[in-house]
Amino acid sequence: MDNSYLSVMSRKNQIMQKSVGINYDQYESDYLNFDYEAMLSEGNFTIEEIRKIQNDFGVGNTPLKECKNIAALARKVSKPGYGARIFIKDEALNDSGSFKARRASISCYQAKKLGFKGVIAATSGNYGAAVASQAAKHGLKCIIVQECYDSFGIGQPEIIEKARACEAYGAEVVQLSVGPELFYKFLLLLEETGYFNASLYTPYGIMGIESLGQEIIEDCKIKTGKLPDMVVCTNAGGGNLTGTARGIIKSTDKKIEIVGSSVNLYGLHMADDNDFNKKSFTTGHTGFGLPFIINPDRSDVPRSAARALRYIDRYVTVNQGEVFFITEALSVLEGIERGPAGNTSLAAAFCLAQELKEDQIIIVQETEYTSAGKHHQAQLSFARENGICIYFGDPSDEIPGKSIVFPKSVDLIKAKDLDLVSIRKKYLQNQFSKTKVLSNKDLIFLAEETNTDINFVTEEAKKYDIKVEDAK
């Protein structure tokens, strides 16, 4: 078999279909439409079955903790009567140390059920440790493929720490330099081993997080006697927000505001050799959040189940210095030491809580473990070594890749809103590049995808001279 780059990439869809056991073609129709809900019913899991599987394998039922001291600090810079109660869902207490254990649990369960001997995941983040941990529980072999180094062989301390965790759970870790070789090597390994593709973006990877959304609703009712007003989700590839929102929707008829939060890394290219080690966050940033929300099917499966634009009500960014500051605040004010990436949503919540009244509730839906290279001090040291200027001042002056600015006073922590209307239009622009004709089913699908309506989609289609077929 020809294993050249072009040949392997040309076999991508066949490799993917075989490695996940899903025939994506069956869900597609018309020009752009595909049956998203039918795809998410793969495996026929109920949310109750998912929770039982997770409970049997060390996942879920994490505590909801109130951050009273951080909320009190937010009230000091809020107008009178404002400053919502802030809670964190402490997902760091899952066996592998993050909410990603929920995603891995269903993928590994399904791999075992289908008779696969092992699983493979391409990830530089917490998901690798989650897959390795769950694979160990199911007696599956595991390979984790990481984008770890720049061309000088220098690896980010956070990614190296995650490799250590994966190896501790018995996985084989394949580390690569930044660039297109990651996906090529991933496909090649899937083909050579015949292992299951434990992708973040299969239906199994999203179903597993629905339990988190359901637990948030249940826990909040038990602790406070009412529902949360707002849930803030760190957003990267979109699965975290998608699964959480779906779980919330299945648990209550009341509208809960879903806010996505990403670290602002504007100007840094995620696949650029020079920029790779200039960033201090490997996930939860705009380098993933924006490309994936505009084009979710850029993932490693033909149709991604992570589609944040369907569920997001508001999208904000915070700067690196603000997240590091809040990470330190969580430690010294609440006695809870957690990793910075998971605190992206907490930094946003600190600001957003000031918009809500004191009796309202805002929930940060995940935390992550911290250790060695994942610790914020290790990441800041690495930033200094790479020429990043670090100082206290106004975080709005921060330039990604050049500086990290801690707030000199807490009133300077400001979450910045992204324009969701513009993002929706860019999503549609991507879709319109694939066709010159839309069916009525396509219009309905695109309205659901953008969380708008048919009129919005039709007006945008006119700008690109897209023909809309008459109803049949």
pLDDT in tens, 384-434: 999 999 999 999 999 999 999 999 999 999 999 999 999 999 999 999 999
Interatomic CA distance for residues 102 and 443, integer angstroms? 33
Is residue 271 pLDDT above 90, yes or no?
no
Angle, helices 239-249 vs 100-114, to 10°: value is 90
Interatomic CA distance for residues 32 and 449, integer angstroms? 11
pLDDT of 224 reads 98
Comparison of pLDDT for 269 and 214, the residue scoring more: 214
pLDDT of 252 reads 97
Residue for token pair 């800041």? 380
- For residue 322 the two structure tokens come to 């603000």
Q: Which CATH code of 3.30.565.10, 3.30.70.2740, 3.40.30.10, 3.40.50.1100 fits the domain covering 49-96+204-417? A: 3.40.50.1100
Interatomic CA distance for residues 269 and 98, integer angstroms? 26
Is residue 71 pLDDT above 70, yes or no?
yes
- For residue 147 the two structure tokens come to 């984008």
User: What are 24-61's pLDDT values in tens digits?
Assistant: 999 999 999 999 999 999 888 999 999 999 999 999 99
- For residue 166 the two structure tokens come to 């994966």
Is residue 437 pLDDT above 90, yes or no?
yes
Residue for token pair 């279909």? 17
pLDDT of 269 reads 85
- For residue 378 the two structure tokens come to 């290790």
Q: Report the predicted TM-score, pTM, of the whole model to 2 decimal places.
A: 0.96
User: What are 277-319's pLDDT values in tens digits?
Assistant: 999 998 899 999 999 999 999 988 889 999 999 999 999 999 9
Instruction: Give, in order, the Cα–Cα distances in Å from 465 to each of 33, 318, 436, 468.
Output: 19, 37, 7, 9
Is residue 471 pLDDT above 70, yes or no?
no
Distance of CA 144 to the CA centre of its chain: 18
Contact between 162 and 124 (Cβ < 8 Å): yes
User: What are 122-140's pLDDT values in tens digits?
Assistant: 998 899 999 999 999 999 9
pLDDT of 299 reads 86
* Every domain of the chain and the residues it spans: 49-96+204-417, 420-468
3-state secondary structure the chain: CCCCHHHHHHCHHHHHHHHHCCCHHHHECCCCCECHHHHCCHHHCCHHHHHHHHHHCCCCCCCEEECHHHHHHHHHCCCCCECCEEEEECHHHCCCCCCHHHHHHHHHHHHHHHCCCEEEEECCCHHHHHHHHHHHHHCCEEEEEEEEECCCCCECHHHHHHHHHHHHCCCEEEEEECCCHHHHHHHHHHHHHCCEECCCCCHHHHHHHHHHHHHHHHHHHHHHCCCCCEEEEECCCCHHHHHHHHHHHCCCCCCCEEEEEEECCCCCCCCCCCCHHHCCCCCCEHHHHHHHHHCHHHCCCCCCCCCHHHCCCEEEEECHHHHHHHHHHHHHHHCCCCCCHHHHHHHHHHHHHHHCECCCEEEECCCCCCCHHHCHHHHHHHHHHCCCEEEEECHHHCCCCCEEEEECCHHHCCCEECCHHHHHHHHHHHHHCCCCEECHHHHHHHHHHHCCCHHHHHHHHHHCCCEECCCC
pLDDT above 90 covers a percentage of the chain that reads 88
Interatomic CA distance for residues 390 and 403, integer angstroms? 6
Mean pLDDT of 81-101: 97
| Torsion angle (degrees, nearest 10) of CA 223, 207, 294, 261 | 20
Mean pLDDT of 222-244: 97
| Torsion angle (degrees, nearest 10) of CA 242, 245, 249, 252 | 160
- For residue 234 the two structure tokens come to 């760190």
Interatomic CA distance for residues 93 and 339, integer angstroms? 12
Interatomic CA distance for residues 44 and 383, integer angstroms? 46
Radius of gyration of the CA atoms of the chain, in A: 22
Instruction: Give, in order, the Cα–Cα distances in Å from 233 to each of 182, 267, 296, 339, 415.
Output: 27, 23, 17, 15, 13
End-to-end CA distance of the chain: 46
